[in-house]
Chain A
Amino acid sequence: MAITVENVSKEFGAYPALRSVSLSILDGEFVALLGPSGSGKTTLLRIIAGLDYADDGQVYFGSQDVSRVPASERGIGFVFQHYALFGHMTVAKNIAFGLKVMNRRSRPSKADIEAKVEELLDLVQLTGLGTRYPAQLSGGQRQRVALARALARQPEILLLDEPFGALDAKVRRELRGALRDIQRRIGVTSIFVTHDRDEAFALSDRVAILNAGVIEQFAPPADIQQRPQSAFVRAFISD
């Protein structure tokens, strides 16, 4: 599913978080939104998700204008920085949640849901942990559950907000690789937000560098490194 962002602006009070931002993402691409805190990258992600609304501009999924469509109807998967797992549900129930809340007509059978949960547990390498509770898992494990949960409904777009931000360096690297593998295997269009340059460059097909609500450059990592298009980008990728 291709994503097109057209002239999206957002203000929080007097503070302009996004200034007429435009972006075109191809189907199956893995894109990073990279920038310092306050650059607007999380705001942009949340607008694409439908968790916040833009003051101006449109968002298209394919050819459909989803700017007014609520988050629950956009068919996305979202992974939060602090997992946002449902503490009172087991891992299996967490993963199955998106399927269980579907309306009667579209909902898969109980057996199908169980099978899907098992499949996803295997995918994120947490086989056998379905009956545990989030409180019993490590940070890395929780994030895998969050990923599995987001993928359960087979979304066409996967959005990740600093997914490894709360984890230590070693776990980060492991999960980075796992995420890339999974994304390649499933082929879902993915956008993830990070302030970690190495992470962005290692994982993405293209990187959008944001600064104070504006996209300074949107290109493959190699291009950015060899041909930085502004002083900010140059400074940001060196150090």
Chain B
Amino acid sequence: MATLASSASPPHRKKKSKARSSMPGFGLSMGLTLLWLSVIVLIPLSAVFIRSAGEGWDAFWASAASERAIAAYRVSFGTAFIAGAVNSVFGLLVAWVLVRYEFPFKRLVNALVDLPFALPTAVAGIALTALYADTGWVGKLLPAGLPIAYHLPGIVIALTFIGLPFVVRTVEPVLAQMGKESEEAAATLGATRLQNFTRVIFPTIAPALATGFSLAFARGIGEYGSVIFIAGNMPFHTEIAPLLIITQLEQYNYAGATAIAVVMLIASFFMLLLLNLLQGWQRRRVAS
């Protein structure tokens, strides 16, 4: 076997003057990364802010804070919040059942959870509308006075579909990695199963649950395809913010569209920040 001592000198062909690391290819890979990132993501995104700034503060405020816009934010944020809450409760249930129990077709069920990630939003949109309209399978079974399709509850259902995997997939790994010891310790100290859950298990997964909720919420406020079919889209009542952006665009009101887009982007950045903080909380929790 050839000795390593006599091997060729390290191939620092693309050696940076600072010799950051012994691995080659930094210049090429980093350059490509930054180029692609700038051209596809950063420059176009900044276009929104620069364009909006160019229109002036008054025009921005008039569009971003118009009554119709505020109504749209209420619809988008409100329905996303409710859907996120519903998903938190049931997502936790699904995650628990998938991690802790065995039952027939479990693998199938596990794969199904990812359906909202794989199914195009428009397909989900028309399917849900068909189901919950008055003539639909579910719509028929509901009492006459309970409107779902073309009303706010319909939006909540669509966003529940979209957000389901976020909570389940965020909580699952934390639950799976928990390890039996904490629960055994609580059992030896006299805790009932319920006490074990509320005092030991739940606090441990709380950060993951919050993260899952935030992810579902963030996705929900910007969701378009699955919502516009079932929403009704009536301004001030069932119009979501993304639809308002499109409406403004179709009327060539670029200023109006960008103003609302800026609001949405700021909301997204806040969510990103929140998620980062939650990750930090999670890390501290696990460190024992």
Contacts and interface: CB of A to CB of B under 8 A. Distances in A.
Contact of A51 (B184, B190, B203): B184
B46 to A, nearest CB: 41
Interface residues of B, number: 22
Contacts of B186: 86, 97, 101
Contact of B192 (A72, A86, A133, A152): A72
Given A88-B285, A135-B288, A98 B182 contact: no
B185 A102 contact: no
B191 A87 contact: no
Interface in A37-67: 49-51
Interface stretch (A16-24, A74-82, A123-131, A216-224): A74-82
Contacts of B23: none
A107 to B, nearest CB: 10
A102 B190 contact: yes
B191 A82 contact: no
A87 B188 contact: no
| Contact residues of B: prevailing secondary structure | helix
Given A71-B187, A80-B181, A80-B184, A87 B285 contact: yes
Nearest to B203: A88
A73 B287 CA distance: 30
Nearest to A82: B181
B199 A51 contact: no
B185 A72 contact: no
B184 A84 contact: yes
B189 interface: yes
Interface of B: 181-182, 184-192, 195, 199-200, 203-204, 206, 284-288
12 contacts: A51-B187, A51-B188, A84-B181, A86-B186, A86-B203, A87-B286, A98-B190, A101-B186, A101-B190, A133-B288, A149-B189, A153-B189
Lowest 7 A-B CB distances belong to which pairs? A87-B288, A98-B189, A84-B181, A78-B188, A84-B185, A134-B288, A88-B203
